[in-house]
Amino acid sequence: MTLQEYDYARESPSKLAASCLLLALTMKNLGGWTPTLEYYSGYSAQDLHPLVKRLNFLLTYQPRDKLNAVRSKYSHRVFFEVAKVTPMDMLKLEETLTGS
């Protein structure tokens, strides 16, 4: 989805991928950012928090009237219907990321 948004063009692909992974781990309650992930990605969890919040905001307030090809493709069960996953509540995401 970020490929369709100009605001994400300035982000490095590795940071964007790491932030997407952290958001997915958080959304599915699969644990947090481990030392192994930090080592191999080169990013600490704190480095990723602002971008993770922006990504969740994008999922929450995505425009529904245009550019539906990606959403349609990833709504199919072949892709595990990931486009249908409910975004996290922004306050709950903040609490989870900060450990409060």
Please, where are the H alpha helices in 1-98?
Answer: 13-27, 35-41, 45-60, 69-73, 90-98
Domain boundaries, the chain: 12-99
CB neighbourhood size of 6 (10 A): 7
Buried b (16+ CB within 10 A) or exposed e, 81-95: eebeeebbeeeebee
Q: What is the pLDDT of residue 65?
A: 65
Query: Mind listing the pLDDT tens digit of every residue in the chain (100 residues)?
Result: 888 788 999 999 999 999 999 999 999 899 889 999 999 999 999 999 999 999 999 888 876 666 678 888 888 999 888 888 889 999 999 999 988 5
Predicted structure pTM score: 0.85
